[in-house]
Structure 1
């Protein structure tokens, strides 16, 4: 089986195919039992009434039909229970695997290919679209398949009883079960696509408004934002109203056609009894079976709408994840070489320009970083510092030049191989809602408590951790319960837990006051434990933090 980062969307459903098949079978059994129950009950009641009126109660077979009714009732109850159990179990498993699949496919696209997609839009895909897709089988495909099974079974039964009734049921199935629902979803792909996009826009606005609530308040811009949200909400409501109108129109047509069909089946049943000797009980059973089918077909419109919405949502998810990643593994990754004469990281003649820009950000850049050496790279905003870190992380590849590790081109290695050599602290390293231990173990999932306390000591957070609840203390969303300096030290501790020999720090003192930043930097050489350091920073550094400082200017490095 393909890895989740390569597998298509259909593989998520294929992995649970037996649960889905079982759900459809149970759904079909429930519907068949319900339809047969109503038909048998109607025929039994009619026969009982006629037997009583004719004074033939003593010769009337009461036990066989009543036993059939009890059996069908029990079958319907049991199959209904297990259909819900199996169907919802499959849906929950699919919901879990869809999110894993989406993350596995989307994460390699960050930041290059996802950089142009707003975070709120991604959130809408993750929440709204996946919610439409994960219930696709239970809400749409399963019911439609089961309806088809029940309809075929009912047509066969009606044909055996009285073939004109079967022809009428076939006509009703085509009109009520197919034509009317398809009329309800006409233009469905376009309408559902517009609805999904409007819902995504509303979620995006709400998300970005909450994220930037402090800035909106400071700029007194809450009113303008609320107006935008209200307008987006009105558009969503308009799309939902149109969707409901289509469904209500279909229900009206269903009611009219069902009424006409019921009158017609009664006429056919009466004619069959009068002209062809059709038994009254069988004639009544045909009428009651038709009532059950009409009720069953009433759900076809909603199922078709769910099917169209799920298809549109699946296409939106595919549009995100089917983008080609900026960097991919070689077809035959080479094993990582041992350190030889050319050890450490080296860049030779690196040239890189972002797509659509003629002017390169880096142009002929050279750099050598020996084992255990500490280097800092500064420069003005926009000079290419962050671009350089992206190239070292292999989130993009240069158009010219080479990046070598121990003399080996990084493009020969699998991304996972290279990333195992790195301990990275990004510029905006977040603190997640969770315990201190959970945040730290993002750097090394297998680290025991002793290792966590060791790294906390190295970044001078151990005393604070002991005083505030230890490793199990709760850290709020985005580090709401810690100071800025503590959050940066925590991010550094997380990076140091990585066993890679090369530590890459991107603006480690961003947002810190001078005293806090200097205290963090002063502790850095000891915290590294002899590992190499490449630090991207625009701040002045205290003496002794690094061995060499460079300035990035004009796409090249100048030694300070």
Structure 2
């Protein structure tokens, strides 16, 4: 419900503009009614009595009314366009900001194509309704009611014909509304699914081509497109039946008015001028009635779009920042009886009663089997997820009590699967620290052995393409590592960041990282013995808990499970030593 008020809140700053639009629209209706009445006076007066003197004043009056009506239309549309575009811009900004604030649990559940569809197609549907449908729905209803009253006043039998013709329109509109809202929502959901498939096909093009599955993926996309086509055709057929009926009713009414009006003039119940004015006013109702189908369809699409957008606004973040700030961070990290389960699987805990301490300036490597929860453990420090039990502290302060922006300046993470953005290499590097100097950028590149960035066509100002796909996996990892190092965090989290590097480059990066880690607190997810050697201590993660903590040699000698995990790398190291 609060989001519904939020939606109304977007209109509130523009109430003055909307009021001016409505007043100008109502004035336009008055003018549209006045012009046929002037025509009636012109026919029944000067023309009938062959008195040409009043013709020019009445003609100029009709012209002036027409020009004034055109000016009002221009003014209304100018004000309307500005107000509606501002509303759309504000909503787009707020929606994007809300998406950024939502936790990882939300983004892991929602398809990116669905979010993209809501942020583009649905917002455009709302803009079209606010900019056209909403106003004209009010205008057309008002115009039909006002003209009907005028027609009843002029000649009530013909007025009743017009009034009675509205009954089937109202009945059909109510029935159309119920059916259209269902099919409209279905179309919009399928558009989101299709957008997801298109995005996945574009992002995963290398995998698709490498496995020769272009035809298979294309068939999946085409099947989704055909499904959307079939549903869209159901929507078109429903609309076509409704609009056809709306076109027929006014035409039948016009024929009846002409027939009964001619009889009325012949019997002296109507003057020729009244009949002309009556028919002119009657014809002015054809567009409002015929457009009702389009406007109602637009209204239903807007309601569906609003519901889809409000689904996002109604999702509250379960990661809410506190207010505390650590003035002089030392980077003392503690996991105290930590429990964690993903929100969509609360009965399947990943971590259970986990305890771990990382002292200021110390580096701890976490080793465990695949799926043991190492990445989940690292995600708890910057609050990408929140613990479900226990707590994580930095310098004795629960991370849930820290301001989120401050926390994520204290903690920098380099992920195994790095994400780069469609911007320059420099912009990607300074994403975590916009005020970094050129010298600091160069130093971070040297630490991460990412000097290749200097050799790009335009150096660090080269745009590296969406997802950094113009670079190799190792290059992406090194740029992401340089980005994390450049942030100069109190706590540096490396989630198997060196997995895509060759042995030679890995050795160079590790040598440089030792200097960086000497000045910060480090938490490393490690799968290789060489990466483990970066750490002062090693923690073995088993069954959701830390079972052993010690240095590499000690665990290797005393813990069989640890030795088995690193057996391949240990054998390789022994071979290298003996060689």
TM-score (norm 2): 0.83
The 1:382/1:148 distance shift into structure 2, 3 A limit, reads: same
Could you report, residue by residue, the CA deviation over 1:4-33 in whole angstroms, capped at 9, with x for unpaired residues?
A: 9x9834433434444444444455555665
Alpha-carbon offset, residue 166 of structure 1:
4.3
Alpha-carbon offset, residue 302 of structure 1:
1.0
Contact 1:40 1:69 in 2 (8 A): no
- Which residue is equivalent to 2:368? 379
Using the alignment, how far apart are the partners of 2:510 and 2:21 within structure 1?
60
User: Is there any run of 5+ residues in structure 1 with no aligned partner, and where?
Assistant: none
Residue 503 (structure 1) aligned with residue 492 (structure 2): yes
Residue 286 (structure 1) aligned with residue 278 (structure 2): yes
Task: Map 1:414-433; keep pairs closer than 5 Å.
Answer: 414-433=403-422
Contact 1:435 1:471 in 2 (8 A): yes
- Which residue is equivalent to 2:288? 296
Using the alignment, how far apart are the partners of 1:14 and 1:84 within structure 2?
19
Contact 1:183 1:250 in 2 (8 A): no
The 1:504/1:28 distance shift into structure 2, 3 A limit, reads: farther
User: Is there any run of 5+ residues in structure 2 with no aligned partner, and where?
Assistant: 553-579
Contact 2:165 2:253 in 1 (8 A): yes
- Which residue is equivalent to 2:480? 491
Q: What secondary structure sits across from 1:401 in the alignment?
A: strand
The 1:164/1:55 distance shift into structure 2, 3 A limit, reads: closer
Task: Map 1:188-207; keep pairs closer than 5 Å.
Answer: 188-207=180-199
Using the alignment, how far apart are the partners of 2:22 and 2:439 within structure 1?
52
Could you report, residue by residue, the CA deviation over 1:53-90 in whole angstroms, capped at 9, with x for unpaired residues?
A: x671434x223332233223323433333433333333
Could you report, residue by residue, the CA deviation over 1:263-291 in whole angstroms, capped at 9, with x for unpaired residues?
A: 23335544665566644323311211110
Task: Map 1:138-537; keep pairs closer than 5 Å.
Answer: 138-176=131-169, 178-267=170-259, 269-270=261-262, 273=265, 278-329=270-321, 333-338=322-327, 344-355=332-343, 356=345, 358-447=347-436, 452=441, 455-456=444-445, 459-461=448-450, 464-465=453-454, 468-498=457-487, 500-527=489-516, 530-537=519-526
Q: What secondary structure sits across from 2:421 in the alignment?
A: coil
Using the alignment, how far apart are the partners of 1:459 and 1:22 within structure 2?
60
- Which residue is equivalent to 2:10? 12
Alpha-carbon offset, residue 144 of structure 1:
0.5
Alpha-carbon offset, residue 386 of structure 1:
1.2
The 1:247/1:26 distance shift into structure 2, 3 A limit, reads: farther
TM-score (norm 1): 0.86
Among 519, 540, 559, the residue aligned to 2:529: 540
Could you report, residue by residue, the CA deviation over 1:474-522 in whole angstroms, capped at 9, with x for unpaired residues?
A: 2212213334333223223333443542222222224333333333333
Using the alignment, how far apart are the partners of 1:244 and 1:324 within structure 2?
36
| Equivalenced residues, count | 547
Could you report, residue by residue, the CA deviation over 1:174-231 in whole angstroms, capped at 9, with x for unpaired residues?
A: 544x334334334222222222222223222232233333333333333333333222
Alpha-carbon offset, residue 262 of structure 1:
1.0
Alpha-carbon offset, residue 382 of structure 1:
0.4
Among 46, 52, 56, the residue aligned to 1:58: 52
The 1:350/1:466 distance shift into structure 2, 3 A limit, reads: same
Q: Which structure features the higher share of helix residues?
A: 2
The 1:484/1:519 distance shift into structure 2, 3 A limit, reads: farther
The 1:358/1:47 distance shift into structure 2, 3 A limit, reads: same
